[in-house]
Structure formats: structure tokens, C-alpha cells
Amino acid sequence: MSKTISLLGSTGSIGRQTLEVARELGLRVAALTANQSVDLLEQQAREFLPGLVVLGDMASAMDLAGRLKGLPIRVAYGMEGLIEAASLPEADTVVTAVVGMVGLRPTLAAIEKGKRIALANKETLVCAGELVMAAADRCGAEIVPVDSEHSAIFQCLQGCRDRGEVRKLILTCSGGPFYGKTFEELEGMTREKALRHPNWSMGAKITVDCATLMNKGLEFIEAMRLYRVTPDQIQVVIHRQSIVHSLVEYRDGAVLAQLGTPDMRLPIRYALTWPHRTQSPAEPLDLLNCPPLTFAPPDLAAFPSLGLAMDCARTGGTSCAILNGANEAAVGLFLEGKIGFNQIPRLVKSALDRLEVKWNPELADILEADQASRRVVLEESK
């Protein structure tokens, strides 16, 4: 069980919910980091009194340092600050709740120190899954997923003594706000409509990923890395109610599922308390009052992002980093209102078509693939 956490990305949706759980569990907080939200980070720092807070740039760090004067809190900034927050000796657990590739180097730093990683930054495993898992093996670091689907699978695997007994992982997917629409109908979809998720409340980037189904594609790759299965052992099913969070099928035909109300605080709590379970104030699932549970196949023609991600899972090498970098850049442009909804998968596809895949990549190759794919997207969107 965690006692002291460093929380990377404390002002985002997962970060704020992690602090709620930390408050309930009475955990100590060694470090808090945010990109730009100085006001909220100041408020959090005053409550949790971490030894270190980190912001994205020097100007906001200086602003915050002025506001926290007199308190025993050091203020740092940038990637160096993030890596320091991830490596602090007093933290036994690092919660990686930052969005995007920026999480990769701090996660590797925390793994090198043998910390438990409560992993909420899926891009890390998507881009550099093999490196991250190999480092975790070498350093004896536990990686406990926070993503609800991967937490569900992790929970269904408790007590499994031989991973060879697992036949299949079944990832559930809400289908997002545009479920049932055709590719043509999606052409004119706006930012406002894409940001209206039916079941989960999340940050903007991941909510758009849920609308394109790229989120499920990234989770497909994440599951493959985390549980060391082949792409053929993962099935995606649309489950509109977001109550069955994912399932594991064993070779004897038994299928285990984890169910619950859609509330991220449950997988966050489990990542911090595993292998134990603690009392939670949240409302449990009421089976007699929940909607009928339905399952359907995903529509890969309407949502090509999911198919692209599944292809990259099979290709391997730097293709997943290209996919992820191109998607981050394209979603950024969509959120700025510069491109249409269907441009997101089109731009991701052209980055994958144009860039060469490198095999057995080192960290430098992955970072380069990420940058190159962003450049392609910016060029082609003009």
C-alpha cells in the first residue's frame, strides 16, 4: 500500500481525483506538478504541503514561488523538475497523471528508483511500452494501471498464477458521443459536440480521443504492453453503459469481469491500495437499478483511428510513437478549431504512411519518431 505519493499532473481531472482519494486515505504528498494552473496548484500545495511543486515554465514557477513564500515548499519547473518530482526518495509511489508524451521520461526515472507507478499516462506505454516494461522488470518497479479498463483487467488477473492460462482480454468501450454515426456524418462534427462524453468526465484531449475511438486504440496498445499479450488476444467491444469496465477470458472458457459505476476514484484508489482494498465513500453499483448491459462490435469504417492503432499494435517498432505523436498534434489542432473531426484520422494516417518505422527502438528513436510525426501533421494541415 502507498504511504507517500508524488503526483505528476495534479491539476487535471485524474490529478484532482487522486488528491480526493489521497485525502480519504490520509496519504502524504511529496510532490505536486502542473503545467500552467498556478492558482489551483497553489491551493493544493497549501493543503498538502509537498516538499516540491513543479510547473511547466520558469515564469509561472517564479509566480508560484512568490505566493508560497514562507512555506517549506521548493518550486521547480520544466522536464528537470518533473524528473526530480518522480525521483524523490520520500515517495514510494509516483502517480503519472500528466497527459501525453511528456510523461515518458519522468515515468522511466521513477521506475529506475524502483517506485510503484500508478500509471494514468497511457501515452508512455503506447510509445515506449517495451522499454518501460523492461525497465520495470530490471528495477523491480510495480506498474499498477489507473486507466479503468486496465485496472479492471488487473483486478480480474488477481489470483492468476500462470499468465499462460489467459486466452483473451476483452476491452470495453463506451463508443463515445458519436456512436452509431457514419464516417460521412462525422465530417462536420465540432469541438463542442466532441467534448460531450456520455459517461465519464475527463480532460479535453482524452475526451476527443474517446470521440474518435483513438482512446480505445491507445488502450489496445497499452493492454498489449502491460499484460504481454499478442494483438490477437485482445478484443474491443462497445458497451454503452460503462458499467462492465473490462474482462479476462481464461483458457477453460471462464470470463471474469469487473463492474462498477463509472467513477475514476475506484481505479485510482485500487492503484494506491493494491493488493488491499479500503473502505470507500462512493455509491456502489445498484444492479437492480442500472440500465440493461449491451455489447456490440466497434465500427472501424466510421472510426478509422481505432483500426490504425490496431495496425500499429501489430507493426510495433516506432509505429506506435508515430501514431501517438500524430494524434496528439492533430487533436491539438482540432481543439484549436483549425481542422475538422475526420482530419484527425486522416492526418494520423499520412504520418504513418510518410514516416519510416524503426525496429527495436531506443528512447532517442522514440522521441524522434514522436517529433517527426508532429511535424508531418503540422505540415499537412496547412
Judged by beta carbon, residue 172 or residue 318, the one nearer Mg ion is 172
| Choices 79-87, 143-151, 279-287, 300-308; region in contact with Mg ion by CB under 5 A | 143-151
Dihedral of alpha carbons 316, 322, 325, 326, sign: negative
Compute the least distance from the CB of residue 220 to Mg ion, in Å.
11
Compute the least distance from the CB of residue 175 to Mg ion, in Å.
13
Residue 147 contacts Mg ion per CB under 5 A: yes
Judged by beta carbon, residue 266 or residue 339, the one nearer Mg ion is 266
d(CA 368, CA 191): 29
d(CA 229, CA 170): 12
Residue 123 contacts Mg ion per CB under 5 A: no
Judged by beta carbon, residue 61 or residue 221, the one nearer Mg ion is 221
Judged by beta carbon, residue 76 or residue 264, the one nearer Mg ion is 264
Compute the least distance from the CB of residue 164 to Mg ion, in Å.
26
- Letter string b/e over residues 334-354, b meaning 16 or more CB atoms within 10 A of that residue's CB: bbeeebebbbbbebbbbbbee
d(CA 163, CA 157): 8
Touching Mg ion, residues 149-178 (CB under 5 A): 149
Q: Nearest-CB residue to Mg ion? A: 147
Judged by beta carbon, residue 202 or residue 302, the one nearer Mg ion is 202
Compute the least distance from the CB of residue 97 to Mg ion, in Å.
13
| Choices 57-65, 107-115, 145-153, 285-293; region in contact with Mg ion by CB under 5 A | 145-153
Residues 247/152, Cβ–Cβ less than 8 Å: yes
Per DSSP, the residues of 77-109 read EHHHHHHHHHH-TT-SEEEE---SGGGHHHHHH
Q: Using CB under 5 A, count the residues that bind Mg ion.
A: 3
Amino acid at 323: L
d(CA 321, CA 324): 5
Footprint of Mg ion on this chain (CB under 5 A)? Answer: 147-149
